[in-house]
Chains A and B, each alone.
Chain A
Amino acid sequence: MKGTHLGEFEELVLLTIAILYDEAYGLAIQREMEKQSQRKVSIGAVHAACNRLYDKGFLSARFSEASQKRGGKRKKLYRVTPSGQHALTQAKDLRQKLWDQIPGTAFQFSWKG
């Protein structure tokens, strides 16, 4: 059985899919991610992540109607499943927990080198 760990890139993909809600397919996800994060994201990486997330059960997928535009190919549309949502919340909680534990003095960068 595959692990259910959520990698950093996977987390971003999952969040982006949640944002796009009903229009989340490979290319759209990639564009949205590039727009949001201002960094280059390759289509292959996005596809791999989507399929991995699907294997882990964090995503559900369906095919749209075929259209002329994509060379007759259908879009594969993803949606976050409840367990995907759970994983996202967990990841967020973990971070929050870690943030909360940082002592107030940790980020006071005023000591003299």
Chain B
Amino acid sequence: MIQPPKRILSFLKWFCDERFHEEMEGDLYEMYEDLVETYGARKAHRRFVKAAFSYMRPYFFRRRQESSLFMTAQRFHFKIAFRYFERNKVFVLINVLGLALGIACAMLISQLIRHEASFDQFHTGVDRAYRVVRVSQIEGGDEFRTGVVFPMAANIRSDIATAEAVTATYPLWNTHLAILDEEGGVEKKFKERKGIGMVDQSFFEVFDFGEKEGNWIHGDPKQALSQPFGMVLTASKARKYFGTTNPLGRVITIDDEHNFTVTGVVKDLPTATDLPFTVFLSFRSLEVMWGDFIKTSWVGVSDNSQCYLRLQEGVGVEAFNQQLAQLHEKHVSKEIADMRSYVLQPMNEVHQDARFGNYTDRTTSQGTILVLWAIAFFVILTAGVNYINLATAQSSLRAKEMGMRKVVGSNRLGIMFQAFTETFLITSMAVILGLALAITGLPYLEQYMDIQLQSFWQWDQALWLLGLILLMTLAAGYYPGKVLSGFSPIQAFRKKVERAQEGSLGLRRGLIVFQFVVAQLFIMATIAVLLQVKHFQEAEWGFNQDAVITVQVPAASERAAVRQKLYQAWGSLPNVEQVSFAASAPSAATRAHNYSEMQLQTQGPEEGLMCEVMTIDTSFIDLYQIPIIAGRSILPGEADQKHAVVVTERLAKDLGFLSPDEAVDQAVYFNGSDCVIVGVAQDFQASSFRQSDLKHRGRVAMWHNPAGFGMASLRLKTTNADQLTESLQAIEDIWVNTYPRHVFEYQFLDDRLAAYYAVETKMSQLFRILAAIAIFIGCLGLYGLVTFLVNQKTKEIGVRKVLGASTPQILSLILREYVGLLIIAFVIASPIAYWGLNRWLSNFASQINLPIWLFILALGFSMTMAVLSVGYKSLQAARLNPATALRTE
């Protein structure tokens, strides 16, 4: 017996109405038998499926079972809702538009939050992954740093068994890569500003980036990074450098010194990670590059040297921290052991805890996320408030309709459902429009924030939106429903609804006040952020940054002669005023900070002060025009004998000198050597204003140390565009002659300083947009409300005009109420803003005082917006010919 495919038949039976089953099945059976006879089983099967598909037409669909009373009523509700919408297009438009805007904002914000919360969450076993961080007890409180000593990872691996996998990480910045061809000649060269990391073999064991099957495309996962000078690339980097995804065995020279051989290729990694590496060099290479201290030094610490690990299941953090402390004590002196401790920090805090920071230089604290949620919530809420306001305001117009329904036999529940149906339709339209807006806006946000966000096409997004529709329906529909269903039919017919409205009038006022509060908060925040950003931009740096370009130079110390040549050549260019080598610029957004202790030789060792070490050459202070207020600058030749140090005024004061002059010629211990203070410089901004938590900010000591040079500064004589291009070309030509294997890259210091406050600048722009949206939504609501009120009051206004009221009098009659509400809102909003903004400002070392006019301006602005949105309709009403007004019935 030949059987047609059962599954297809039962599927057809499932979706086709029962009354077609017999006929359909019979014919298909017969047809299948024929088909098998003529074509053979395989072909028959295909034709059969095609025939079965021809049943997929609405005509055969299963009819709904006997429609229930509820469904009938619901259909009716929809019909009424649509009729109502058709008659009140403005009402629908205002609500849908406002809600859609609010929803779009909230969706984009939630996408941003998801992105921030998703950092490094994809690794398998991430709940057991930790970073080892360092907490030092220093004068003025604890200091939280990410850096651990270089041998940390290796020692944990060998000494503490409860760590499942451990890796050291050390990033390289501004690295020059020379791609060698088969003969060893330079084929191409690249400069990578970031993305290069020195890691242990076990890096991909600790972090699998969500690839359970493994990250490796080529190479030996067990060996690739175990030896010095092994190198692993991501697939796209391999393509970029070599044009192939399998460059195993090819060689890249790093910074003109060390040849690394490609030993592996991994899949491209996700971008939401604080381990943003695309090129992995074996950590052990450092042993060869820098020497054995990498294996042995337990004292010197760099913040870039970090250590990540994953614990075995069931191992407590406390227990591990104790073992870590024992390990630490074993290798260092008692003083250091007492002062420093190493503890585990859970991986999910790496992106949140601003005290430590991370390789991406960007943390998002729980507080920020909370503020973002609050903004999203309030934007939606103001839009929801519009709906409640308009719907309840209009409900009195529908009193007769509802009264009639009750007479015919509807109960309260039925009318509630009517209200819910209307709300549901409005929110659904708004969500669809909002989604469209959000999808349109997403690329702009991504581009603006320079991040990659997830798309909206995901299941949880759909669920979220459904939940939103439901929640909004219930929340926004409940109150209007209650009011609508609350009319007593007799009252409704006797036109006594005004009294019934009294109760909801209070609520409406409350909601308007709430909207004004939100709008004013946004305005105040916007102004405050703007002011603070302006304050940053106008702040005195304490040095002259105009027409200075900075160039990263290879840091190796044995290149002194090469550097000297470069110095001479650059310095002799006609448009270059001065050249200086230093570890970094006096201040910049991306700059390595280096700290050490300084103490007077007349005092005991416990009196040391933490201060920032700035490594400079003899022309640095001159080039940057940092004023020397006592003593002198560091002189050429002097550096070789005894270390000369120039300290800032602040440091001199903190060391206990009453005047800068006293500090000159004092002997100090600094950075492990005997030094003498030769001069005191005026204070300048060495770090961002944001780092207000640094106890030692402003304490800077500058000394001459060619080994630490990593950056050249050039002051140009010209700012004329043509000459500038010419001089830059000349500068580059000299560079290419000196360092043929390095890419030339320069930056204007101005730009690097501006980048300091990029986050705040962006924030001020975002706030402006959000404030505009919140105000717009609120004004939409006001406009709708006043339209309705004016319509209701047409007659009253007509009578008043007949009795002699002037247009301004009538205007003030309508406006008075809103102005009153606005002032109440102001009284509520100002203290909240004052408190919140001051908390935010306290993050900065140099902050503005919130001026009184900020609050007045917010009040004035919101008042203007309110009067504008209310005024037009009011004016229309006030100028209406009373005869027309009174004739309307």
Contact = CB atoms under 8 A, between A and B. Distances in A.
Interface string B42-59: 000000001101111101
Interface string A24-49: 01110000000000000011110110
Given A42-B54, A73-B22, A26 B59 contact: no
Contacts of B57: 44-45, 48
A21 B22 CA distance: 21
Contacts of B22: 63, 73-74, 76
Contacts of A47: 20, 23-24, 27, 55, 60
A3 interface: no
B30 interface: yes
A45 B22 CA distance: 16
Contact of B54 (A25, A43, A69): A43
B20 A51 contact: yes
Among A27, A51, A52, A74, find the residue whose CB has the most chain B CB atoms closer than 10 A: A27
A70 B51 contact: no
B28 interface: yes
Interface string A42-76: 11110110011000000000010000011101111
Given A27-B31, A51-B20, A70 B55 contact: no
Nearest to B59: A48
B481 to A, nearest CB: 38
A69 B165 CA distance: 69
Nearest to B51: A43
Quick one: which of A25, A45, A63, A73 has the most chain B CB within 10 A?
A: A73
Interface residues of B, number: 22
Given A27-B31, A47-B20, A74 B55 contact: no
A75 B24 CA distance: 9
Nearest to B4: A71
A75 B26 contact: yes
A44 B29 contact: no
B25 interface: yes
A69 B60 CA distance: 24
Given A48-B60, A51-B59, A69-B33, A42 B51 contact: yes
A71 B29 CA distance: 6
A76 B30 CA distance: 13
A44 B23 contact: no
Contact of B59 (A52, A70, A74, A76): A52
Contacts of A43: 27-28, 31, 51, 54-55
Given A51-B20, A52-B59, A44 B54 contact: yes
A36 B862 CA distance: 79
Contacts of B51: 42-44
Nearest to A73: B26
A75 B30 CA distance: 10
B26 A70 contact: yes
Interface in A77-101: none
A47 B28 CA distance: 11
A35 B17 CA distance: 30
B488 to A, nearest CB: 42
B26 A74 contact: yes
The range of chain A's interface size is 10 to 19
Interface string B128-143: 0000000000000000
Among A44, A51, A63, A71: residue with most chain B CB under 10 A: A44
A25 B23 CA distance: 9
A73 B21 CA distance: 10
A67 to B, nearest CB: 9
Given A69-B30, A70-B30, A44 B25 contact: no
Contacts of A74: 22, 26
Contact of A73 (B29, B33, B53, B60): B29
A68 B57 CA distance: 29
Nearest to A29: B27
A55 to B, nearest CB: 10
B65 to A, nearest CB: 19
A26 B60 CA distance: 15
A26 B50 CA distance: 16
A40 B827 CA distance: 78
A71 B28 CA distance: 9
Contact of B55 (A25, A44, A52, A71): A44
Contacts of B28: 43
Contacts of B24: 26, 47
Contacts of A76: 22-23, 26
- Which of A48, A52, A63, A69 is most buried by chain B, counting CB atoms within 10 A of its CB? A48
A44 B56 contact: yes
A73 B27 CA distance: 9
Nearest to A63: B22
Given A73-B22, A74-B22, A76-B22, A44 B60 contact: yes
Contacts of A75: 23, 26
B37 to A, nearest CB: 12
A71 B27 CA distance: 9
Nearest to A68: B1
Contacts of A45: 54, 57
Contacts of B31: 27, 43
Contacts of B56: 44
Contacts of B33: 69
Interface string B427-443: 00000000000000000
Contacts of B27: 25-27, 43, 47, 70
B563 to A, nearest CB: 84
Nearest to A44: B54
B20 A27 contact: no
A27 to B, nearest CB: 4
Nearest to B22: A73
Contacts of A42: 50-51, 54
A51 B22 CA distance: 13
A27 B25 CA distance: 11
29 contacts: A25-B23, A25-B26, A26-B26, A26-B27, A42-B50, A42-B54, A43-B27, A43-B28, A43-B51, A43-B55, A44-B55, A44-B56, A45-B54, A45-B57, A47-B23, A47-B60, A48-B57, A48-B59, A52-B59, A69-B30, A71-B4, A71-B25, A71-B29, A73-B22, A73-B25, A73-B29, A74-B22, A75-B26, A76-B26
Ranked 8 nearest A-B pairs via Cβ:
A44-B54, A73-B26, A42-B54, A71-B29, A44-B55, A70-B26, A26-B27, A76-B23
Interface of A: 25-27, 42-45, 47-48, 51-52, 63, 69-71, 73-76
Given A25-B26, A44-B56, A51-B20, 17 more contacts: A27-B27, A42-B51, A43-B27, A44-B57, A47-B20, A47-B27, A47-B60, A48-B59, A70-B25, A70-B27, A71-B29, A73-B22, A73-B23, A74-B22, A75-B23, A76-B23, A76-B26
